[in-house]
Amino acid sequence: MALIVQKYGGTSVADATRVRDVAERVLYTQQKGNQMVIVVSAPAGKTDELLALARGVAKHPNPREVDMLLATGEQISIALLAMAIADLGGKAISLTAAQVGIKTDGTHQKAKITEISLKRIKEELEKGQVVIVAGFQGIDEKHDYTTLGRGGSDTSAVALAAALNADMCEIYTDVDGVYTADPRLVPNAKKHDEISYDEMLEMASLGAKVLHLRAVELAKKYNVPLHVRSSFNENPGTVVKGGENMEQGRIVVGVAHNSKISKLTIARIADKPGVAAMIFSKLAAADINVDMIVQSAGKDGLADISFTVSKDDADRAEEVARSMVEVLSAESVERDDNQAKVSIVGTGMLTNPGVAAAMFETLAQNNINIEMISTSDISISTVIPGELVEKAVQALHSAFELDK
């Protein structure tokens, strides 16, 4: 008897038909003699709807109350799935994170799981129940609801699989695996049979939202192999596991993009020691993650510092930047929300020179101006004008022969 954790995303539980479909899938696997722990997301669109409700009543809704509200989305899905399973003659129980005991730190909307208590889950499994757990949510020390960041149900599933030492962790979504690029942008993207944790980490951190970044981090840390599959068909998906560059000979394994970024520029500040330290410590103190940073060459002792942040943090980042204009004697703060980050990923870059040149060449041939560049061992990222993201992703995808 194996213990299987399955996670179903929003589109997989979007309506009654989809929920009943999932119920059938779950029972089918349970009836083969497996113990089943199921993690579900809120129905597709529900989390956005709840956030809109919050913004309808308050300009800056209280983060604790936002999580109280957001946690209800997943609660809809767990209850409905339990009902559907019972209706098909199965035994199932739904549990919130509070009922399970999924503990997190207290950072609302970005909480990290610190501990999972397994007692209740194990008791229910012993009784032959399918255990259905609300994804995305946790409780902090005070027993207040927290959420793990958008897309965080993947992380709930992997954390449970690691804690339970599950035999398998399957992530069911609306695509049948991890592709060489987002299939919504690149129709001829190819599905990977396998991808390494490191490459998947890089893809996820650079915008491939098919897996939540923290989920991949946890999977790597606890060596949980993930199987990413579609809940709409029976196709084999993508296995994410340890090891490197399993698809031999491939220098680049994927193109990732992220259109949810904003660029801020603090213009014409004194080019002297301590300025960057001041700007970025203020941003860090406001809990804003800064991604790329570029400082332009100083002229007349003055320089521009540009940086990118997630669009969700852009209002706050702009406020912080403006609050420093005077002490920095800066000329202005400029903000550009129409930016996108396009990246190529592959462990093969470690040993193959010329990849960056080929990337920049491709963008140049397509008349796409690069505004910022950053690199890691296994990726190269560029910031480009937002409206060119699709063109850039497609051009890079064919330039690196990912469609072959």
Which residues are at the interface with Mg ion (CB under 5 A)?
9, 151
Residue 136 touches which of Mg ion, ligand ASP, ligand ADP, none (CB < 5 to 8 A by kind)?
ligand ASP
Q: Using CA atoms, how far apart are residues 333 and 351, in angstroms rounded to an integer?
A: 40
What amino acid occupies position 95? Answer: L
Q: What residues between 6 and 25 interact with ligand ADP by CB under 6 A? A: 9-11
Q: Which is nearer to ligand ADP, 73 or 151 (CB)?
A: 151
The residue with tokens 């103190």 is 285
Q: Using CA atoms, how far apart are residues 143 and 97, in angstroms rounded to an integer?
A: 10
Residue 97 touches which of Mg ion, ligand ASP, ligand ADP, none (CB < 5 to 8 A by kind)?
none
Stretch binding ligand ADP (CB under 6 A), from 22-30, 119-127, 204-212, 363-371: 204-212
Stretch binding ligand ADP (CB under 6 A), from 13-21, 129-137, 175-183, 313-321: 175-183
Q: Which is nearer to ligand ADP, 24 or 174 (CB)?
A: 174
Q: Between the CA of residue 43 and those of 19, 69, 135, 235, 351, what are the distances in Å?
A: 9, 14, 12, 23, 44
Q: Using CA atoms, how far apart are residues 273 and 306, in angstroms rounded to an integer?
A: 17
Q: Using CA atoms, how far apart are residues 340 and 261, in angstroms rounded to an integer?
A: 6
Residue 94 touches which of ligand ADP, ligand ASP, Mg ion, none (CB < 5 to 8 A by kind)?
none
Stretch binding ligand ADP (CB under 6 A), from 23-31, 207-215, 376-384, 391-399: 207-215
Closest to 209 in 3D by CA, of 124, 278, 152:
152
Q: Residue from 182, 199, 202, 371 that binds ligand ADP (CB under 6 A)?
A: 182
Q: Which is nearer to ligand ASP, 73 or 138 (CB)?
A: 73
Here's the x/- map for ligand ADP, 245-284, by CB under 6 A: it reads as: ---------x------------------------------
Q: Which is nearer to ligand ADP, 19 or 125 (CB)?
A: 19
Here's the x/- map for ligand ADP, 32-51, by CB under 6 A: it reads as: ---------x----------
Residue 362 touches which of Mg ion, ligand ASP, ligand ADP, none (CB < 5 to 8 A by kind)?
none
The residue with tokens 């997989």 is 12
Between strands 113-116 and 102-104, the pairing is: antiparallel
The values of phi and psi at residue 122, to 5°, are -65, -40
241 pairs with which residues across the strands? 196
Q: Which is nearer to ligand ADP, 4 or 269 (CB)?
A: 4
Between strands 238-241 and 194-196, the pairing is: parallel
* Stated length of the chain: 404
Q: Using CA atoms, how far apart are residues 130 and 345, in angstroms rounded to an integer?
A: 38
Residue 181 touches which of Mg ion, ligand ADP, ligand ASP, none (CB < 5 to 8 A by kind)?
ligand ADP
Q: Which residue is nearest to ligand ASP (CB)?
A: 153
Alpha helical stretches, state H, 242-298: 275-285
Q: Using CA atoms, how far apart are residues 198 and 348, in angstroms rounded to an integer?
A: 12
Closest to 310 in 3D by CA, of 325, 331, 333, 291:
291
Q: Which is nearer to ligand ADP, 73 or 254 (CB)?
A: 254
Task: Identify whether the C-beta of residue 366 lies closer than 8 Å to the C-beta of residue 236.
Answer: no
Stretch binding ligand ADP (CB under 6 A), from 16-24, 62-70, 177-185, 259-267: 177-185
Q: Which residue ranges make up the site for ligand ADP (CB under 6 A)?
A: 9-11, 41, 151, 173-175, 178-179, 181-184, 203, 208-210, 254
